[in-house]
């Protein structure tokens, strides 16, 4: 049996693609593409419609939101990525002051969704979108990228440098540790700066994200007593 691909597929594999920020005029194509990331929801990521209606603004594409798309040589949209602020950061009881929330939303980013058109998968488009997003967040001063995904994509995200886990534990100043988990998806993370680490801490049920904020560096010998970090 031949292992060569059908001619049409081979031709598709060589079509170049480019990645750019999505704007208001891209709304329909962006929404159609991003819906592939959650096909069971009639209007997943409806929030992106509002984001794209806004004017582009630093530090990401639309202030603290990022809308990227991939298009082929004819301008057809073949992939989309939506990133921004993890919603849990705004609701977590451990993030108890506006100042702390402000610092966290400027350091901890999230890819809410990434999707590639089924006809264009496995050509590196998903990887290129994710890497471009990581670059944009890193340039904007973020220290960590996070994302939720189904267990079927564990290997995919591992291959892109993510630590795959069921929860996020984040070291805050004053020896505090906050956690976040979801019932049915992974919570994976990747440092965007060499100073940010995922550390094994005795007593902590998951790896701990440390040095994300000033005053939250973990000295050797630190442990977790169930309430606070001890060091
Ligand atoms: C997940 C997704 C974005 C990947 O995009 P893609 O452009 O096809 O991926 P890439 O070409 O960058 O993949 C590179 C490698 O990752 C692996 N990979 C890709 N998709 C995979 C999948 N669904 N499961 C496991 N591994 C996968 C492959 O090993 C591939 O390498 P290969 O060419 O040697 O096979 C795409 O499959 C998709 O849109 N899926 C539906 C939406 C979704 O699940 N989004 C993620 C959650 S928000």
Tokens representing 156 are 């995919």
Report the CATH number that the domain containing residue 40 is assigned in CATH: 3.40.630.30
Do both 43 and 136 map to the same domain?
yes
- Does ligand 1 lie within 6 Å of residue 196's CB atom? no
- Does ligand 1 lie within 6 Å of residue 34's CB atom? no
Do both 130 and 29 map to the same domain?
yes
Structural domains in the chain (count) = 2
Do both 123 and 213 map to the same domain?
no
Do both 194 and 231 map to the same domain?
yes
pLDDT at res. 2: 36
**Per-residue pLDDT tens over the stretch 48-93:** 999 999 999 999 999 999 999 999 999 999 999 999 999 999 999 9
- In ligand 1, which atom is closest to the CA atom of 79? 39
Q: What residue owns the CA closest to ligand 1's atom 18? A: 156
Q: What residue owns the CA closest to ligand 1's atom 13? A: 122
Distance from Cα 231 to the centre of ligand 1, integer Å: 41
Q: How confident is the model at residue 45 (pLDDT cuts 50, 70, 90)?
A: very high
Q: Evaluate if residue 1 carries a pLDDT over 60.
A: no
Three-point CA angle 78, 143, 80, nearest 5°: 10
Q: Considering the domain boundaries, does residue 168 fall inside one?
A: yes
- Does ligand 1 lie within 6 Å of residue 69's CB atom? no
Q: What is the spatial distance between Cα 184 and Cα 166, in angstroms, rounded to a whole number?
A: 9
- In ligand 1, which atom is closest to the CA atom of 36? 42
Tokens representing 99 are 């100042």
Q: Considering the domain boundaries, does residue 147 fall inside one?
A: yes
Q: Considering the domain boundaries, does residue 123 fall inside one?
A: yes
Average of pLDDT values for 172-191?
Answer: 94
Q: What residue owns the CA closest to ligand 1's atom 44? A: 37
Do both 20 and 75 map to the same domain?
yes
Compute CA 73 distance to the chain's CA centroid, rounded to the nearest angstrom. 26
Do both 184 and 155 map to the same domain?
yes
Burial of 206: CB neighbours in 10 Å, binned 0-12, 13-18, 19+: middle
Do both 229 and 217 map to the same domain?
yes
Q: Which domain holds residue 228?
A: 143-231
- In ligand 1, which atom is closest to the CA atom of 125? 7
Q: How confident is the model at residue 15 (pLDDT cuts 50, 70, 90)?
A: low
pLDDT at res. 11: 53
Do both 154 and 206 map to the same domain?
yes
Q: What residue owns the CA closest to ligand 1's atom 19? A: 122
- Does ligand 1 lie within 6 Å of residue 60's CB atom? no
Q: Evaluate if residue 6 carries a pLDDT over 50.
A: no
Q: Considering the domain boundaries, does residue 98 fall inside one?
A: no
Q: What is the spatial distance between Cα 219 and Cα 205, in angstroms, rounded to a whole number?
A: 18
């Amino acid at each position: 049996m031949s292992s060569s691909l059908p001619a049409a597929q081979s031709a598709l594999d060589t079509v170049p693609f480019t990645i750019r920020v999505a704007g208001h005029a891209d709304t329909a194509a962006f929404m159609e593409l991003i819906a592939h990331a959650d096909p069971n929801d009639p209007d997943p990521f409806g929030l992106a419609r509002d984001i794209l209606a806004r004017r582009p603004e630093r530090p990401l594409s639309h202030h603290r939101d990022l809308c990227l798309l991939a298009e082929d040589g004819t301008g057809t949209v073949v992939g989309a990525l939506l990133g921004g602020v993890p919603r849990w950061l705004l609701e977590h009881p451990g993030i108890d002051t506006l100042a702390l929330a402000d610092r966290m939303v400027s350091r901890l980013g999230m890819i809410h969704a990434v999707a590639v058109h089924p006809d264009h998968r496995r050509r590196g488009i998903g990887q290129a979108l994710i890497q471009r997003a990581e670059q944009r967040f890193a340039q904007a001063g973020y220290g960590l990228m996070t994302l939720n995904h189904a267990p079927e994509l564990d290997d995919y995200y591992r291959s892109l440098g993510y630590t795959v886990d069921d929860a996020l534990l984040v070291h805050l100043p004053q020896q505090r540790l906050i956690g976040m988990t979801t019932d049915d998806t992974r919570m994976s993370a990747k440092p965007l700066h060499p100073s940010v680490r995922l550390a094994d801490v005795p007593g902590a049920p998951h790896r701990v994200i440390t040095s994300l904020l000033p005053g939250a560096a973990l000295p050797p010998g630190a442990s977790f007593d169930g309430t606070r970090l001890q060091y």
